Structure 1
Amino acid sequence: MGSVSFLPYIISVRRERGLPTALFAEDGKEDEMENNRFALGVLAVGLGGCAQSSAPAQSANTMLGSTLSPGAEVRVQECTEGLSTREVNDHLAMVFDLEQSYHELVACGGLVVSLAVAVIEVVVSLAEDPSGGLPWGLSREGGAYISEPGGAGSTVMAARFFFGDDYEVGAEGDLVEDNVFALKSYLENPQLDFDYTTGEVLIRYDRRGPLVELLGFGSTPPRPLRLNVHNVGRLTREIEKLRIESTVVVDDARPNSSVVYEIESESMALGQLASGDGFDFEVVASSAWSDAPEQEMETRVWEVGFHNRRGGGLNGDIEFVVEGGAFAYQGLFEYQNDTWPRTTVTCAD
């Protein structure tokens, strides 16, 4: 009963703060638990996507046949003289494998955003099963939330949350060790009621959880907790200060090459991500190699970020050089707020 009257407050506050309201039915016909289940269902899709990627089919390049993606520009005549088209294609196959593997960044960037929104929704809904825990596809180890690998290759993402302000439970920058997805971390056994005399929503609960301060009412909120149009904005103010960082490790066995890289996403506040802000990926290590022909790839430039608009995508450049075999070449992936790059391949300097 209380949840129905509570929804307009949540919707108005989220609109004022630029947060999405699609998960909340304004007519009150959907209860908050269903809304939260929907949010976690969207999250599950993101988890599956980070573990496997799909790519556009290889198509004929105007110069070199079948090993490059549509629109790739190839200028390697000077360093491939005397080689057959097939030999050149075999050497360039690594480029297509890199394109496909780096597409993981799009899915994993979307997963970071989905995790941020899911945490906010858990707090906003106040109707998640207290005995519940992690969204589907995640395991939890020592404060890290780890996506399960899947697909042909092995992609593992570990996300961590850090306090964005000073609290009794932890200082700004400290790792949040309690489960941010479990409602009992905030309030144990919450039950909603409605006070018809004051028009307030009452949240009755058994005990305060370790992360109760993230509800915005201090370390000792009253019992019951009273929400009204004047104070409901507190409910997400503190949780949106939480910061998320992620590490992605990809060990990808592609048809022609082995691609291995580790990246880290910059620290971002949950509220920033929920409002549509993007973030940068920093490379820790990146390599690729093939046995036939014997080649090795070295990354020269990695300046790539995830943009969180229109479904998400990448922006920035990746430059690399491939050595070994019959000739060496260099490549450039230019991402222009898109999911696939504009690819250029030339003879190595």
Structure 2
Amino acid sequence: MRRPLKIALVAGESSGDILGAGLMQALKIRYPDIEFIGVGGPRMEAEGLTSYFPLERLAVMGLVEVLGRLPELLARRRRLVDSLLEARPDAFVGIDAPDFNLGLELKLRRAGIKTVHYVSPSVWAWRQKRVLKIREACDLMLTLFPFEAQFYDEHRVPVRFVGHPLADTIPLQADRAAARAALGLPGECQVVALMPGSRGGEVARLGELFLAAAERLRAVRPGIRFVLPCASPERRAQLESMLAGRDLPLTLLDGRSHEALAACNAVLIASGTATLEALLFKRPMVVAYSVAPLTFRILKRLVKSPYVALPNLLAQRLLVPELLQEAATPDALAQALSPLLDNGDVQTEGFDLIHRTLRCNASEQAAEAVLGLVGQA
């Protein structure tokens, strides 16, 4: 009897945990006895992953910020290489986290293990020479967006555009009234969703800023309401401390970010995957971001793309406002957001076409690609 198929996966943060869980579900449909090892979060563990250590140990953002964690990250990668070489999986799938996973993939591929990288790093935007390492490290790149696949084709890296799982799960038309009823929000008033990020560092940099912008917006729109989904109990506590002394008609939610997006009229949002979610819910948005000053100066020199926000990258034009670093002031954010409450359709009219382009049954396509690589399709 043949042994069960064994797939190793490593995800570096919660968005990767979601992608990994979807891929694992699709693989289990074809191979119910498949085994999963590696590193993942609660969703991947619920699908059967034996995780060598908690996903949270890999979750770190920024160029400067990672330096304090570098010794730990390198030590964990060395131990992980040894564990995976001993386990000899049929394939390894690195999910995002390129600075961690590409080095891991390189060592495993040199040892004869098939490697897949799921979610392209922003190599088309900055540090383009990384494509040489990617070509050497992975047998196959799986991209979420079509413009990424075009880049890899041009650089002779085996690639497959699989679409984005969020585009599969989010309906083409969201029911605002039902979402408001579920959240206990009035049906008629204007609602703004505040989404300052899921990481503690993001909330530390953007939370106070977003709340101050909400206060400015309320001053000119007295009947407005706000919702703010909290990614975890820790983020909720962090935001509750920021709300002390403020008089805002704001509802903190435990998770439920999709309901917040469905319920709102517009979104003030941190740059990242959440901007894609806002686009898929067809909600007008203002995008803001802030990192350590030194990190920003380095990125400004390196980044070749004129855009940061995913909606703009997908549209290849300035579709949504981007306010970064010093440009992201409470007044500027409120001024950019206010007209969207009356005339948001001007911004969102192209969102539906992007949604349909990304709606490709991504997890199933990714599973088919992985199985094809190991000769089991």
For Structure 1 versus Structure 2, the TM-score category normalised by the shorter chain is under 0.3
Q: Which has the larger radius of gyration?
A: 1
If each structure's helix is expressed as a fraction of its own residues, which one has the higher value? Answer: 2
Higher strand share: 1
If the length of structure 1 is used for normalisation, what is the TM-score? 0.25
TM-score (norm 2): 0.24
